[in-house]
Structure 1
Amino acid sequence: MKRYINAREVLPAELIKEIQKYVKGQHLYIPQTEREDWGASTGSKAAYQKRNTKILELYNSGVSIIELTEMYGLSEERVRNIIYEKQRDE
């Protein structure tokens, strides 16, 4: 799998000459101008938000942190952090 694109394939010759004044023969990273938020394209972010909301609802209805760790396969510390973060956001 190709990890880079040769500048000659996508940039005009004049621009390549200008860039070569600053960078010659080295790899140059050009960052994206627009980037999606983490998990936006896969739905992961939404799934975790839904899970975390449910964890807070269950906690508020009396389910213990230990029970939540067993239900969701998370550590006690992670469950506590989720509860704290969700309470802070509300």
Structure 2
Amino acid sequence: MKYVKADDVFPEDLLKEIQKYIHGELVYIPKPKGARKRWGECSGIRKYLNQRNNDIRESFRKGYTIDQLCDKYCLSFDSVKKIVYSNK
């Protein structure tokens, strides 16, 4: 995250109003609720993990044991069990 100079962004009236509350400090202004992305959406990891979990469920339906899936995906027994028995 880079810093943006308030003089360059805010209209003068708004900047003066903000300075009544805080001046010379750093202020974080968050994105609006609807504009925030969920964890992993930018990097693609969310999509990757959803696909991996679907592959694990499909393999389990085809007859692979949880132990075999643990070895194949390098996950713990509890992690694979949680994925396999989730309601997705």
When the two chains are superposed, the root-mean-square deviation of aligned CA atoms in Å is 1.7
Output the TM-score relative to the length of structure 1. 0.80
| Structure 1 letter corresponding to 2:6 | A
Aligned length: 86
Question: After TM superposition, what 4+ stretches of structure 1 lie above 6 angstroms from structure 2?
Answer: none
| Structure 1 letter corresponding to 2:28 | Y
CA apart distance, 1:42? 3.0
Other-structure match for 1:82: 83
C-alpha distance in 1 between matches for 2:43 and 2:68: 29
CA apart distance, 1:51? 0.9
CA apart distance, 1:64? 1.1
C-alpha distance in 1 between matches for 2:82 and 2:15: 49
Deviations 1:11-47 (A, max 9, x none): 1121111111122222111001212222223332222
Query: Where do 5+ consecutive residues of structure 2 fail to align?
Result: none
Alignment of 1:27-46 (within 5 A): 27-33=26-32, 34-46=35-47
Deviations 1:27-86 (A, max 9, x none): 11100121222222333222211110110111122211111111011111211221232x
Output the TM-score relative to the length of structure 2. 0.82
Alignment of 1:8-87 (within 5 A): 8-33=7-32, 34-85=35-86
